[in-house]
Chain A
Amino acid sequence: MNYLILLPQIILVAIAMLIPAIDLYFKDKTRILPYLAAGALGVSLLILSIFTGIIPLEIFDVTIPTSLFGGMLVVDRFALFLQLLFGMVTFFVVMASSSYIKQYDRNQGEYYSLLLIATVGMMTVAMANDLITLFIGLEVASISSYALTGFRKNSKKSAEAAMKYFIIGALSSSIVLYGISLFYGLTGTTDLAQFGTQLQNIDPSQDGLLAMATIFLIAGFSFKVAAAPFHMWAPDVYQGAPTTITTFLAAASKKMGFAALFKVFLFGLIAFKADWAIAFGVMAALTMTVGNLAALKQEDLKRMLAYSSIAQAGYIMMALAIATQYALGGALFHILTHAFMKTGAFIIVAMLSVMLIGSKVGDLRGLRIKSPITAFCMAIMMLSLAGIPPLAGFASKFVLFSSAIDAGGWLIWLAVVAVINSAISLYYYARVLKEMYVLPTDHIPIRMKEPLAMLIPVVLTTAAVIIVGLYPEPFIDAAMDAARALIP
């Protein structure tokens, strides 16, 4: 066994433990804490890049895939891909937080500490090869997120969002746990690698139980990824949470739910594809339609982006209905591009509130003069989310939607629903463009100064969206490699 492969997580946990202690002894916390957290994330991202071979250095003696703890954790390309993604999103969130979380905010140590712990939880889900470790990772990440959502204790909205998130989250966790226990009862194992063979042998009289167990898992995880009809909590929570945490929830936490879904269904239960693929197909179509239609009417930017997240989750869910390697690769690629887009977009919203501009769609008016660079980045994010070429969101939708056509049959209709949805979404994304660039302002706006710590992640993600759009090859390859680890 080679525990070295867990070095990124070990570093994160160590710093997460250290931060609350430092919090007690230092006065000027806004100075040191974010740097410490960002440093830890930066180092673990570096190590992960060395593991994956992005940085061609051979200092660590690790093999990929590595199986740890008797197969409870497996670090393969799939795990590394998602770990990099989670680490990166958290890194940007921490950067933005250094401007967003103010000197007078209490419990800053806990804030950064919980963020790191949640990241480790998500990374664990990506590595989990057993339902128990999967559940532990899920809970570690979820419980930290509940607390983070309620970080601004004095804000009623924040408290309400945390409460809602906690109740729904706990409920869905218990549903998942119930499903896991049923599976354990049926197969005598929680090891995902053995699921396929064990389930072949069960008695036909227990098919009903198997169906129930599957439904429990689908429902439980669908709550986590906010897929319709289990999506009601998401807009309220996203709106109420501190915007940096919303970024974290939309760009990383939701993706953890997908990591779990992919692990369980596309790896553990792939042999029973015929039984559950249709359910995911219907849910995917429903999710994207509900998300897009609801987003059309939103006046609040955060809420609009929350519904847009729901719609995007619908696109990603298509991969579960198609259930091919190519589709999974497309979904992972879309998860990556969506993480870039949503990180950028939500940090812009956070930035607007720090700049006291406001977070209604109408508040964006005149932004092209107030802050041309923010307006441009926002425009790129919106066009990319709508899937307009040559941006990242187009490239990933291109792969994902084409995989549905590749699979043929009824999935062609799923692709039709998806592209029509993509066209509907153009309306609300274009509205943002209209407010920023087209509509005249009542009085001449003044050029404003942007908080640098937030502008940097925004510019970086925008650059990423453009680069991935123009040259998607390495990113597609990485996603396909990751997909190959699950579906050979």
Chain B
Amino acid sequence: MAIADLPLLTITLLIPVIGTLAVFFMKNEDNAKKLALIFSLIPLGMSILIWSLFEIGGGYQFMESHTWIESIGISYTVAIDGLSLPMLFLTTLLIPLSIVFAWDTKKRQKEFFGLLLMIEVGLIGVFVSLDFFLFYIFWELVLIPMYFFIGIWGGPRKHYAAIKFFIFTHVGSVIMLLAIFALYFESASVLGYATFNMMDIATVSPTFTAAFQGAAFLALLFGFAVKMPAVPVHTWLPDAHVEAPTAGSVILAGVMLKMGGYGLFRVGITMLPEGAMEYYWVMAALGVVGMIYGALICLAQVDLKKMIAYSSISHMGFVLLGASALNLVGVAGGIYQMFSHGIVTAVLFMMCGVIHHKTGTRDIPKLQGLITKMPQASFILIIGFLASLGLPGMNGFVSELMVFVGAYEAYSIFIVVPLITLAIGAAYYIWTMQRILMGDFNEKLGNVTDLEKYELIPLAILVVFIIFLGFYPNPLLDVIYPAAEAVLGGVLL
């Protein structure tokens, strides 16, 4: 039996489930992190294995399908393609890195690391499921551990932030669910049998009437926009991010926001091409407003973490803009942007965690001259900032360039409007860098030391990714391009 015949995706999904239970029920609290790390490294190994066996341009692979609730057409169907593979890898990479980064957590360790693994279950599940019922279960499963995560280990306003996060994203999910119901019943009448299988629905859904597609697309877009988040439904994000513990922020911004973008490509554009073509301008408007608004707010932030949170809103706007272009470069750029933002923002939130931890503050005006005391940390922070503002040679540049090329094809000269974001982005990053790293060290901060080893390792790994993918993005692009073609299948016809 070849390795590829094994139910690899199910194994990848099951290991963190077992890990969650094992960590929750273990006796010795201090070993929780070690056990959690082991259980999170196995899925990482699995996703590397899956990537190595992945056939580029081969559509859905590693498919497993078992009937589950036959009477209403629900099955356990998982598979992976060029769209979900990078997301799967991103998830399985960031979870162990967050565990390492959170190595010195003291409060309720078993629950902390157990919940991290539980989040991983949900995230992997969202990216591999191809049945709407299953997809929705995992989509919602992510919320519960994250709610506790923010609520228990968060900052001063954690209770407010946790419940706000929970309710906002839940509202988005249930509206999305209604659109899924509509797709289910509409496709049942065409197919002759009722099914929640995404692939089956996708074969007939592009033929639905334009009015139906438009309405369903808008309902789906609402759900995804809350998750991404797009202005004006973004307000949960700054609260959640600022209050969440660093590991929570990393997962939240690094992977959870991508669920929205992933849904948009996997469900929205793939299944409802006419709806997407009719309402491309909604995506474009949400994207551009998010990009500029997020960037402008960043300029005014005093709290470093809040600034990075708003920059996430700005960067997720790129994904929407790329998607709205509805051409190959734009969509591929959007997908690439999700991956590269996941990596870069993880670095930024981790650095923010380091600075807060070492100096006791995140206020930009209070921080000064950190470069003298924390040379390693400052170096990584500079790389993170530069990658985030899209400097050539870093992975952020590749995706932003692609998005703009795609957008130019679609909107020609009007892309000067979103281009302003780049200027503002450069402004707030460089200005912040200047304020916190340069100048004389603020002696009030006390005795500040450089990175601990458990902080350095995850950061170094991520920096390698940033630079490698900046110079040589092909491995990722090769996977993404066929997937983008598949996403646009209905549009290009």
- Chain B residues at the A interface, C-beta cutoff of 8 Å: 68-72, 133, 136-137, 140-141, 143-144, 147-148, 151-152, 159, 162-163, 166-167, 170-171, 174-175, 177-178, 181-182, 184-185
The answer on a CB contact under 8 Å between A405 and B166 is: no
The answer on a CB contact under 8 Å between B178 and A405 is: yes
A427 lies within 8 A of chain B by Cβ? yes
A347 lies within 8 A of chain B by Cβ? no
The answer on a CB contact under 8 Å between B174 and A420 is: yes
The answer on a CB contact under 8 Å between A405 and B163 is: no
Give A419's nearest chain B residue, CB to CB. B174
The answer on a CB contact under 8 Å between A406 and B185 is: yes
The answer on a CB contact under 8 Å between B182 and A438 is: no
Give A473's nearest chain B residue, CB to CB. B69
Please give 15 more A-B residue pairs, beta carbons under 8 A apart, in addition to A383-B144, A406-B185, A426-B166. Answer: A388-B144, A389-B141, A390-B137, A401-B177, A401-B181, A402-B181, A416-B175, A419-B175, A422-B174, A423-B174, A430-B166, A437-B148, A437-B152, A438-B148, A476-B71
Which 10 pairs between the two chains have the least Cβ-Cβ distance? A419-B174, A405-B181, A389-B137, A438-B151, A402-B181, A423-B171, A473-B69, A390-B137, A423-B170, A406-B185
How distant is the Cα of A476 from the Cα of B72 in the complex, in angstroms? 9
How distant is the Cα of A187 from the Cα of B181 in the complex, in angstroms? 41
The answer on a CB contact under 8 Å between B71 and A438 is: no
A36 lies within 8 A of chain B by Cβ? no
The answer on a CB contact under 8 Å between A415 and B170 is: no
Q: Which of A412-434 contact B (CB under 8 A)?
A: 412, 415-416, 419-420, 422-424, 426-427, 430, 433-434
The answer on a CB contact under 8 Å between A473 and B68 is: yes
Residues of A within 8 A of B185 (CB): 402, 405-406
The answer on a CB contact under 8 Å between A405 and B148 is: no
How distant is the Cα of A399 from the Cα of B74 in the complex, in angstroms? 12
Residues of A within 8 A of B144 (CB): 383, 388
Distance between B149 CB and nearest chain A CB, rounded to angstroms: 10
Residues of A within 8 A of B152 (CB): 437-438
The answer on a CB contact under 8 Å between A427 and B163 is: yes
Give A439's nearest chain B residue, CB to CB. B159
A477 lies within 8 A of chain B by Cβ? yes
The answer on a CB contact under 8 Å between A473 and B184 is: no
A480 lies within 8 A of chain B by Cβ? yes
How distant is the Cα of A412 from the Cα of B185 in the complex, in angstroms? 13
Residues of A within 8 A of B175 (CB): 416, 419
Residues of B within 8 A of A422 (CB): 174
Give A379's nearest chain B residue, CB to CB. B144
A472 lies within 8 A of chain B by Cβ? yes
The answer on a CB contact under 8 Å between B167 and A427 is: yes
Question: CB < 8 Å: which of A419, A427, A430, A477 contacts B178?
Answer: A419
Distance between A427 CB and nearest chain B CB, rounded to angstroms: 6
6 A-B pairs in the complex with CB atoms less than 8 angstroms apart: A405-B178, A406-B181, A412-B178, A420-B171, A423-B170, A476-B72
How distant is the Cα of A434 from the Cα of B133 in the complex, in angstroms? 28
The answer on a CB contact under 8 Å between A416 and B141 is: no
How distant is the Cα of A488 from the Cα of B171 in the complex, in angstroms? 35
Distance between A434 CB and nearest chain B CB, rounded to angstroms: 6
Distance between A224 CB and nearest chain B CB, rounded to angstroms: 29
- Chain A residues at the B interface, C-beta cutoff of 8 Å: 383, 388-390, 394, 398-399, 401-402, 405-406, 412, 415-416, 419-420, 422-424, 426-427, 430, 433-434, 437-438, 471-473, 476-477, 480
How distant is the Cα of A399 from the Cα of B194 in the complex, in angstroms? 13
The answer on a CB contact under 8 Å between B177 and A477 is: no
Residues of B within 8 A of A394 (CB): 137, 140
Distance between A345 CB and nearest chain B CB, rounded to angstroms: 18
The answer on a CB contact under 8 Å between B71 and A416 is: no
The answer on a CB contact under 8 Å between B167 and A426 is: yes
Give A472's nearest chain B residue, CB to CB. B69
Grouping DSSP codes into helix (H, G, I), strand (E, B) and loop, the B interface class, with mixed when no group exceeds half, is helix
Residues of B within 8 A of A401 (CB): 177-178, 181
Residues of A within 8 A of B136 (CB): 389
Counting chain A CB atoms within 10 Å of each CB, the highest count among B137, B162, B182 belongs to B137
Residues of A within 8 A of B69 (CB): 471-473, 476
How distant is the Cα of A472 from the Cα of B136 in the complex, in angstroms? 16
Residues of B within 8 A of A419 (CB): 174-175, 177-178
Distance between A12 CB and nearest chain B CB, rounded to angstroms: 32
Distance between A153 CB and nearest chain B CB, rounded to angstroms: 42
How distant is the Cα of A480 from the Cα of B72 in the complex, in angstroms? 11
Question: CB < 8 Å: which of B159, B177, B184 contacts A434?
Answer: B159
Give B176's nearest chain A residue, CB to CB. A419
How distant is the Cα of A189 from the Cα of B167 in the complex, in angstroms? 51
Distance between B391 CB and nearest chain A CB, rounded to angstroms: 41
Residues of A within 8 A of B162 (CB): 434, 438
The answer on a CB contact under 8 Å between A434 and B167 is: no
How distant is the Cα of A430 from the Cα of B163 in the complex, in angstroms? 8
Give B215's nearest chain A residue, CB to CB. A412
Residues of B within 8 A of A438 (CB): 148, 151-152, 159, 162
Residues of A within 8 A of B178 (CB): 401, 405, 412, 415-416, 419
How distant is the Cα of A383 from the Cα of B141 in the complex, in angstroms? 11
Distance between B29 CB and nearest chain A CB, rounded to angstroms: 14
How distant is the Cα of A476 from the Cα of B166 in the complex, in angstroms? 29
Give A403's nearest chain B residue, CB to CB. B181
Residues of A within 8 A of B170 (CB): 423, 426
Give B183's nearest chain A residue, CB to CB. A405
Residues of A within 8 A of B167 (CB): 423-424, 426-427
Distance between B160 CB and nearest chain A CB, rounded to angstroms: 11
How distant is the Cα of A420 from the Cα of B151 in the complex, in angstroms? 23
Distance between B26 CB and nearest chain A CB, rounded to angstroms: 14
Distance between A246 CB and nearest chain B CB, rounded to angstroms: 27
Residues of B within 8 A of A399 (CB): 72
Residues of B within 8 A of A433 (CB): 147-148
| Given A406-B181, A423-B171, A473 contacting B137 (CB threshold 8 A) | no
Counting chain B CB atoms within 10 Å of each CB, the highest count among A402, A427, A472, A476 belongs to A402
How distant is the Cα of A388 from the Cα of B146 in the complex, in angstroms? 14
How distant is the Cα of A265 from the Cα of B171 in the complex, in angstroms? 33
The answer on a CB contact under 8 Å between B137 and A434 is: no
Counting chain A CB atoms within 10 Å of each CB, the highest count among B133, B147, B162, B178 belongs to B178
Counting chain B CB atoms within 10 Å of each CB, the highest count among A390, A424, A477 belongs to A390
Residues of A within 8 A of B147 (CB): 430, 433
Distance between A83 CB and nearest chain B CB, rounded to angstroms: 22
Residues of B within 8 A of A390 (CB): 137, 141
How distant is the Cα of A437 from the Cα of B144 in the complex, in angstroms? 12
The answer on a CB contact under 8 Å between B174 and A389 is: no
How distant is the Cα of A415 from the Cα of B179 in the complex, in angstroms? 11
Residues of A within 8 A of B159 (CB): 434, 438
Counting chain B CB atoms within 10 Å of each CB, the highest count among A401, A412, A423, A434 belongs to A423
Residues of A within 8 A of B148 (CB): 433, 437-438
Distance between B140 CB and nearest chain A CB, rounded to angstroms: 5
Give B151's nearest chain A residue, CB to CB. A438
How distant is the Cα of A419 from the Cα of B141 in the complex, in angstroms? 17
Distance between A177 CB and nearest chain B CB, rounded to angstroms: 40
Give A412's nearest chain B residue, CB to CB. B178
Question: CB < 8 Å: which of B72, B140, B151, B182 contacts A388?
Answer: B140
How distant is the Cα of A83 from the Cα of B144 in the complex, in angstroms? 35
